Amino acid sequence: MIFDSLGISLIYGLIRGGKISGIADIDIKKPVFFILGFLFEFGLLNLSDRFPVIMSYRAFIHFLDYLMLFIGLWYNRHNRYMMIIGFGIFLNFIVIFANGGRMPVSIDALKAAGLYHLIPGLLSDGIATHQALTASTRLKFLSDVLFLPKPYPLPKAFSIGDLLIFTGTFLMVTNAMLKKTGKKYKEVEG
């Protein structure tokens, strides 16, 4: 949902008269850890079909992904929006590793979002980062049980943690865009 949040933040910030150049003023220390986390996640999602060894070590690689994110968050603990994002990442981490290293996804949420094409992969246990939510899933309420159906352009199933990541990213980007113009963002500043 981070790309959704970035896109919606940009549109909202521009509608409010914000400046895209304000994003460059966001102080992110040691971004290499976020980049590494993204690369581990990208590898899990896109390379596991070609390299079976990735599926064998998926939990370990996923743990490294989160470790990089937590280190990046530690260096940016001064940023209140990063703390919101960090809490969302922490909630996702808890449910993922309470269930063996993959995020449980509700099949009902996928159906409600119209994402029927993702169901066979989950049921065949063929996705490195996600698995089908079952009766034995732990912490179901933190799993991908929420959904956004069409007409939203990118329908999806998502978690409470994802929602917090979306919120923190939205507030950070929007606030930076509006600060550039000297406008106050009441929900953040007030």
Asked if 109 contacts 141 with a C-beta cutoff of 8 angstroms, the reply is no
- For residue 126, the model assigns a pLDDT of 86
What's the rounded Cα separation, in Å, for the pair 150 and 129? 24
Give the chain's mean pLDDT.
92
- Above 60 in pLDDT, residue 186? no
pLDDT in tens, 37-88: 999 999 988 898 888 888 889 999 999 999 999 999 999 999 999 999 999 9
3-state secondary structure of 139: coil
Q: Is 104 helix (H, G, I), strand (E, B) or coil?
A: strand
- Tens digits of per-residue pLDDT, 130-166? 999 999 999 999 999 999 999 999 999 999 999 999 9
Predicted local confidence at residue 187, as pLDDT:
52
| pLDDT average, residue stretch 86-111 | 97
- Rounded to 5 degrees, φ, ψ at 104 are -70, 140
Phi first, then psi: give them for residue 45, nearest 5 degrees: -75, -40
Residue 93 has pLDDT above 70, yes or no: yes
Give the whole-angstrom CA distance, residue 161 versus residue 87. Answer: 7
What global pTM score does this model have?
A: 0.90
